[in-house]
Amino acid sequence: MKIEKCVKVFSCCAVGCLLAPAWVVAGQLEVTSETSLAFYERDSKTDKDLALVPLREYLGVDYITDVEGLSFHGYGWGRFNLGENDYFQDENEGAFLYGYLEYRHAASNVSMLLGRQQLFSGVANESLDGFSLRTPLGTIFDLSLYGGSPVAITEDGRSGDSIVGGRIANFRPGLYELGLSYKLIRNDSTDDDEKLGVDVSLNLPYSIGFNGFSSVNMLTDSWAEHSYEMQVQAGSFQIRPMLQLFQYDDYFSSNEKSANPFRFLADSGEELTIIGVEVDWFGAESYELNLKAKNIAYDLRDDSSNYISGMVIKHLEDLCQVGIELGVMAGDTSDNEYLLGRAFVYWDRLPESIPVEFISSDLVFVGYGEDIYGQSNSTFISLGTGKTFLDKALALKFSLDYSRDPYFDNDFRSKLVAEYTFGKE
Amino acid sequence: MFGKMKYVVGLLIVTLLFLYACAAKQNAGYIFPSIHPEELEPGRPICSDCHDGNDRIVYARFNHTATFTENHRQLAYQYEQACNMCHQQRFCNGCHGVWMEEKPSDKDTTSTYRRTPHRGDYLARHRIDGRVDPTSCFRCHGNPKTAQNCAPCHG
């Protein structure tokens, strides 16, 4: 049965690719296919060491019509477990992530999207079925508007579900941008999420930048979040102090439909303050250095945690990078402590005498302040490689991962990926 | 506190539209190209190598430094069009899609330089990070659909 479904879908893909050249005559079509075959073992509630062989297809379509500025974009994925078990029976077998018509008037910079789309705009990070519009208003204003049905709230049907919102921004190139945004999500005709946001970017003298945003939960009538950051360029250093404040009662939602891990936080009355600084150094052309320090403090719990990390990346010839990272989370309680060490090598453009084009490797070691399921530490190793064919239209990649951590004694996972782009110019 | 906020917002919008009306006779302002005009070199782009600070956006903030993956949130909220010059929605969906079965580091296992989130032991480590700062989890897992990843253990 699974094989039959597999054959059906891939037959459709093949037919699509065969028909595509005819389509191209009327416009420009690009089809991207990412097919992956993974192999690993997992325990289910009733069985141990089930062999999982999920075959996944991520399919993207971009079609630029002959009508100037009009195009279609779509993307989704599907999965078939080729293993002889029902491990994935309670999971979705795929998802339609977006599919929209876009009209863009190049001269005026007006763009309109109609269909399922992912949207980032002010207080919105949403997927919706509907429309969105972006347009400049004169030379110093920008407006975006959107409306439709939210994709994330569909458990009990979509009747009475809606999302509307927008952002208006005032800007002066090289000086500042000030944005005001709003969104309202209704679930079953009841207000589920209503946020108002203000965002700002300032380009100050002496190469100092300031940016951030605040959001108000309109349902609780109080601030939910303030997040602000400065960028100070001092020679080859870029220093970025930051401050974040969260009020849990207003940031999280205690609605019945709210996601479970966070629902109880919304009634906790807790306030979280994060003060930190990040420093990037580009002093030597081939080196990249990053240092980060954060203090994360709670008002009600009256304790705090500190995270400090450092990372050095050496850039070699042929796009080869070698990096080392060390991080320490130190909390007031030992169960909030860990030490993280990571090393990675990514080498693109390997010599032609080597039959693959790149190698990718990762080693992550984490020691925990307090044992988790009797384990005091974990190790993760990843090795990957790949090669392109057909003038880079086809890429084959292979990876092998190993984990030993509180959840897996000795876990091996392998994955083969074929990425194919039809119509790429 | 914010009961009257809706009216304030309405007033602000009307004011801004009035300002627009004053400026409408001028041409459109800064136009983001639909795609980056020049093909970029392979590797993480450092935008400020070519762009100065007098454009609408401060390109130095878009430099894809080693920690850009975890620091790009506000840039996307303010300048999604700038992201769209190089990235199509499916690139963002790799991490931000409403229903992605694979965690980002499992979907893309061979781009270690990207420092994709949840690499390695993260199933174990999220117990600590989640206690320390649950707001960072909420941004992606905060709605019923994306929280399905959390449901097997958290209900």
Rounded to whole angstroms, how far apart are CA atoms B140 and B148?
11
- What is residue A32's predicted lDDT score, i.e. its pLDDT? 95
pLDDT above 70 (res A78) = yes
The per-residue pLDDT for range A59-72, each reduced to its tens digit, is 999 999 999 999 99
- What is residue A293's predicted lDDT score, i.e. its pLDDT? 97
Residue of A nearest to B82 (CA): A120
Q: Which two tokens stand for residue A158?
A: 């979509």
Contacts with B, A 47-66, CB within 8 Å:
56, 58, 60, 62
pLDDT above 60 (res A17) = no
Q: Which residues pair with A294 in a beta bridge?
A: A276, A307
Rounded to whole angstroms, how far apart are CA atoms B44 and B114?
9
CB neighbour class for A144 (10 Å; exposed up to 12, middle 13-18, buried from 19):
buried
- What is residue A219's predicted lDDT score, i.e. its pLDDT? 93
- pLDDT tier for residue A19 given thresholds of 50, 70 and 90: low
Q: Say whether residue B55 is in contact with chain A using an 8 A CB cutoff.
A: yes
Nearest to A384 among B93, B102, B109 (CB): B109
Rounded to whole angstroms, how far apart are CA atoms A60 and A98?
9
Whole-complex ipTM: 0.85
Distance, in angstroms, between A217 CA and closest chain B CA? 9
| pLDDT averaged over every residue in chain A | 89
Rounded to whole angstroms, how far apart are CA atoms A278 and A290?
7
- Greater confidence (A188 vs A58) lies with A58
Average pLDDT over residues A389-417: 95
Rounded to whole angstroms, how far apart are CA atoms B66 and A381?
20
Which backbone phi and psi does A288 adopt, to 5 degrees? -130, 130
The amino acid present at A117, given as its one-letter code, is Q
Residue A276 CB coordination number (10 Å): 18
Nearest to B26 among A62, A107, A139 (CB): A139
Q: Which two tokens stand for residue B97?
A: 């899609």
Residue of B nearest to A217 (CA): B2
Pairing of β A411-422 and β A54-65: unpaired
The per-residue pLDDT for range A173-201, each reduced to its tens digit, is 888 999 999 999 998 888 989 999 999 99
Residue A292 CB coordination number (10 Å): 20
- What is residue A108's predicted lDDT score, i.e. its pLDDT? 81
Helix (H) or strand (E) run with residue A143 in it:
strand A141-150
Q: Which two tokens stand for residue A44?
A: 């289910």
Distance, in angstroms, between B53 CA and closest chain A CA? 6
Residue of B nearest to A59 (CA): B90
Distances (CA, A) of A82 to A38, A40, A51, A296, B102: 10, 12, 9, 45, 17
CB neighbour class for A313 (10 Å; exposed up to 12, middle 13-18, buried from 19):
buried
* Residue B54 Cα to chain centre, angstroms: 22
- What is residue A18's predicted lDDT score, i.e. its pLDDT? 47
- What is residue B3's predicted lDDT score, i.e. its pLDDT? 58
Q: Say whether residue B15 is in contact with chain A using an 8 A CB cutoff.
A: no
- What is residue A54's predicted lDDT score, i.e. its pLDDT? 96
Pairing of β A338-347 and β A222-234: unpaired
Query: Are the beta carbons of A261 and B144 separated by less than 8 Å?
Result: no
- What is residue B29's predicted lDDT score, i.e. its pLDDT? 61
Nearest to A211 among B54, B74, B129 (CB): B74
Whole-structure pTM value: 0.87
Contacts with B, A 322-341, CB within 8 Å:
323, 329, 331, 335-338, 340
Token pair 């010839």 is found at A317
pLDDT above 50 (res B28) = yes
Q: Which two tokens stand for residue A83?
A: 């293993």
- What is residue A1's predicted lDDT score, i.e. its pLDDT? 45
Whether the Cβ atoms of residue A172 and residue A153 lie closer than 8 Å to each other: no
